Amino acid sequence: MDRDALKKLSKDELVELVLRLQRPAKTSRTSSKPPSTDKKERRAQAKPGGAKPGHKGQSRKLHENPDETVCHRPDECPHCHGQLDASLSGDVIGEYDEIELPRLKPFVRRHQRLAVVCPHCGARVEAQAPKAAKGSPFGPRLHSLALYLKTFHSVSFARLEGLFGDVFGLKLSQGALANMLRRGHKPFHEDKRKIIKRLRTAPMVASDETGIRIEGLNGYHWVFLSEREVVHEAQLSRAAQVVRDVMGDHRPDIWLSDGYSAQKNHGRHHQTCLAHLARDVAYGLEASADDTPFALKLWLDKVFILARAIETYAASTLKTKKRQLENALADILLSRPDCEVAEALRAKFARASPQLLTFMDHPGQVEATNNACERALRPAVIQRKNTNGFRSMWAATGDCAVRTVTDTARLTGHKPFQTILKTLA
């Protein structure tokens, strides 16, 4: 805004402009911004690293099944200089593990196809072509390692090429790696379809999304989470149609999400994430002197305390507590703050008020926050920062297929690399 435009503003408009400029910037504590965008503390004000006073140290546990055990025996008595025979029994007074990686080198199996002459009729008989003669020469463990490093450690094609060459002595071009990943995605797409089919029977589903780059365009990484399924979806759209495409005709009993309109009205009942609202309240406390943000903070504190122990309450007690919380919130929302920030916060709570305490009607079935979806999205956010997105749509959809299968298996205690190896093998 230039000088002439400022001169045309009224006194009230100038006051409002100055107040808006004085408001604190939003941080990860007061909004959905990632912590990496926060302004770092000065070195003099930063907390010292390392263990805190009183911290009890821990040492590495000994391996349960060592591959080799070496016994170290004394050869000579230091007192009389007598020789100590190896047949003497000894007591174990200390055990220590030495851990080393085996030499890393590719295992190459050469397949030779032979032809022989039949001694009975003189015909030349050729052996059938082995599987190694068809398709890729690379085995499932090599495919799994490339897929694991690319998906879960954000290793670029150039770095993957260098890693396989330097560590394993294996020459792989970036084109060969891309083809390897594309082949590896196929069984994960098949398993993802099965997982989506199960998701469409779940009684409770939570959803969230974050931005990604696909082929130079702004896209979105969606996640849908139930008690036993985690589905990742890459789309160029943020519209509600993405939810309808994933869920089909299924309408869960409960849907959990933040306040974004495209993620609402997909279940019979809806729970709005209270963690998102708590961050808005934290910003309101910093940016406004009005009493409304503080009153909403106290109200949320009571809700969070109740949510942590909700399964310990009887149904009648929960019904009473819900009515008390609803009445308390209604009283807070009757206020009409003069501050723009406080009024926007009050209006946001007013719009979401019918969906803030749904978890109390379904104790143990739905959380009060959508933090589980945010945790499921965090690896995708880290990958976006490290790689700046995907250069092709097949890479984005394949990445989501791998994450769908591995994250779903993780719910039952299976580790990602073993899941990838099992799927490819």
- Mean pLDDT, the chain, rounded, equals 89
> Is the pLDDT at 24 greater than 60, yes or no?
yes
pLDDT at 321 over 80: yes
pTM score: 0.80
* pLDDT attached to residue 287: 86
CB 237 within 8 A of CB 220: yes
Domain ranges of the chain: 183-269+381-424, 274-360
For the chain, how many helices (H) and strands (E)?
A: 13, 7
Chain centroid to CA 75: how far?
A: 56
pLDDT-based confidence at residue 86 (cuts at 50, 70, 90): confident
Q: pLDDT by residue (tens digit) across 136-148?
A: 788 889 999 999 9
Distance of CA 272 to the CA centre of its chain: 20
Residues in the chain: 425
Residue type, 82: G
d(CA 404, CA 418): 14
Could you give the CA distance from residue 342 to residue 348 in angstroms, rounded to a whole number? 10
* 44 has pLDDT over 60: no
The answer, yes or no, to whether residue 421 has pLDDT greater than 60, is: yes
Highest mean pLDDT among 27-36, 57-66, 171-180: 171-180
Structure confidence at residue 133 as a pLDDT band (50, 70, 90): confident
Report the DSSP beta bridge partners of residue 270: 255
| pLDDT confidence tier of residue 383, bands split at 50, 70 and 90 | confident
Secondary structure string (H, E, C) spanning 311-378: HHCCHHHHHHHHHHHHHHHHHHHCCCCCCHHHHHHHHHHHHHHHHCCHHHCCCCCCCCCCHHHHHHHH
Tokens at 406, concatenated: 């591995």
